[in-house]
Amino acid sequence: MDMALTHDDLDIRERARSFARRHLWPHEITLDENGSLDHATEAGIRQGVLDHHLNAINHDPEHGGQGMTIVQQCIVNEEVGSATNGLWGRVWQPPICLKQGTPEQIATYLVPACRGDIAVSFCVTESGAGSDAGGIRTSARLDGNHYVINGEKCFASYSDTAQVNLVTTIEDGNPAHPTLFLIDKGTKGFNMRRMPRFCQRSGHEHPEVDLVDVRIPATQMLGEVGEGFELTKDWFVEARLAIAARSIGMAIRASELALEWARERRQFGQAIIEFQGIGFMFADMATEIMAGKSMLYRTAQEIDSGLDRRTAHAKASAIKYHCSEAAFRVVDRAAQIFGGRGMMCENPVERLTRDVRLERIWEGTSEIQKVIMAGQIMKRGLDPYTSWI
């Protein structure tokens, strides 16, 4: 298998790196201190995404996306993942399941989302259904040509600013019928209940939402009754690979900052990089990053070469688990090398410490990834994790 990056891959990496350093890094401290960015700054970032051709990298050009390969998507996510405070989220990647919509839904939601004209929030989690997505209770009842939706959602990321919410329900209260609906902002009965405060100050909220007799046309259903989880399988693979790539980006930036500091900082008459204990820390950090990148890009290339969907899902869990945990260890070591300065909010490593902690939790905790892997091993043996495509 040829693992070398192509000319196009290298061009994308340069564009993504340039964008992150010119349009994201300069706004990190302002966002961390104020909790938001002004309209002009947000508009400038949006234009930067478009100018660098980084919008909707996961969607086809026919819908306004960039049509990037999985390898190329990982490259972009690695580079923008180096920015703190969740600024990577400004590089919008609409849910992949939107392309399964009707022609009308694609024209109304997917195409504008690819352009960046609207944002889409994906509302799955509930207070009683986190890791166990099958435990959702938000129900959709057919009433003539409409559905009436009742329930609640939490950790509804970006729902406070999104123009449309993609909501997972169970049709007619039947857990065997998970079904997706598109609910426009301002729809009566779709109410923000609470805005919890989180350690990451990204300028976007993760609200708790009540759905009280939300009445929408049946044409707002995405896919068919009972297809809710099936439509999101590819999205989970994509999301988990994106987390792995961002985690690598965080780990690399933290390591580079720590190395620069270790070369400059002198104690006991020498640069601290010259102490074996510090040098061994960097050896561990480099190994963690190297292993994670190898896993990520090998599997991304396998998917681009036609890896079957089930094996891709199995491998994505392993990669998300390893890369997020490894990045956490790397960033923690970087903070340790900085000493007290690693706890200063002005230091990107401190902010990365908060950010990387999140990657071990969302889109399936590390423990859930191991549950998925263990299940695959029981059914299929070690082959999904030890063989080549």
Spell out the domains of the chain, with CATH numbers in brackets. Answer: 7-115 (1.10.540.10), 120-222 (2.40.110.10), 229-386 (1.20.140.10)
Residue 39 burial (C-beta neighbours within 10 Å; 0-12, 13-18, 19+): exposed
Q: What does the pLDDT read at residue 204?
A: 79
Identify the CA nearest to 52 among candidates 13, 85, 89, 83.
13
Residues 6+ apart with CB under 8 A from 275: none
**pLDDT > 80? residue 131:** no
The tens digit of pLDDT for each residue in 2-13 reads 678 999 999 999
The pLDDT value given to residue 4: 86
At residue 80 the predicted structure's pLDDT band, cuts being 50, 70 and 90, is very high
Residue-level pLDDT at 2 = 64
| Amino acid (1-letter code) at residue 293 | K
Confidence of residue 1 (pLDDT cuts 50, 70, 90): low
What is the structure's pLDDT at 229? Answer: 87
Beta strands in the chain (DSSP E): 120-123, 139-143, 146-153, 164-171, 178-184, 190-194, 208-217, 221-222, 266-267, 270-271
d(CA 60, CA 66): 6
Q: Which residue has the tokens 């690819």?
A: 114
Q: Which two tokens stand for residue 26?
A: 């300069």
Lowest-confidence region among 43-57, 142-156, 227-241? 227-241
Determine the pLDDT at residue 173. 84
Higher confidence at residue 234 or residue 256?
256
Residue 249 pLDDT more than 90?
yes
Bridging pattern class, strands 120-123 and 164-171: parallel
Q: Residue 257 and residue 221: Cα distance in Å, rounded?
A: 47
Does the active-site annotation cover 363?
A: yes
pLDDT given at position 117: 97
- At 254, the pLDDT band (50, 70, 90 cuts) reads very high
1, 334, 367, 372, 381 from 315: Cα distances, Å: 17, 28, 15, 10, 13
Pick the catalytic residue from 42, 224, 363, 367: 363
| pLDDT at residue 195 is higher than 80 | no
Helix (H, G, I), strand (E, B) or coil at 197: coil
Lowest mean pLDDT among 93-102, 160-169, 188-197: 188-197
Task: Compute how many other C-beta atoms are within 10 angstroms of the C-beta atom of residue 317.
Answer: 25
pLDDT at residue 108 tops 80? yes
